Amino acid sequence: MTNFLRLAAASAVAVFTFSGPAQAEDLEFLLINASSADIVEFQVSDTADDYWTDNLIPAGYVLPAGNEIEVLIADGETTCNYDIRAIWDDGSEYVEYDADLCDLGEWEFTD
């Protein structure tokens, strides 16, 4: 990944903010695209909610095959468990429910 894309991804990763308790922690992890296609959207949802966040890949960017970015979830919640969804440039998608993201460090998509 180019330094520009790394900088843009690190500084412009979409962050959604809600009011929350003072002890809330942001979740930050490395999103790795080890698949053979570009990821165009990555979203999360609190397991208790029925909606997805905005795309956590910065606007105007994709996560190319073989690359990675830092993802930040700063929603003011203390939860570790989220539903996750990735959408590839061919329109295919992957959804996983109730994923524990707190002790993760990284999330990797493969073929």
Q: Say which CATH number the domain at 49 has.
A: 2.60.40
Strand (E) or helix (H) holding 68: strand 68-73
pTM of model > 0.85: no
Residue 51 covered by a domain = yes
Domain count, the chain: 1
User: What's the pLDDT score for residue 66?
Assistant: 96
Mean pLDDT across 41-50: 90
Mean pLDDT, the chain, rounded, equals 78
pLDDT digits (tens, 9 = 90+) for 56-69: 998 889 999 999 99
**Residue 105 vs residue 7, higher pLDDT:** 105
Residue 108 covered by a domain = no
pLDDT > 50? residue 23: no
User: What's the pLDDT score for residue 81?
Assistant: 87
- Owning domain of residue 31: 3-102
What span, in angstroms and rounded, lies between the C-alpha atoms of 89 and 52? 18
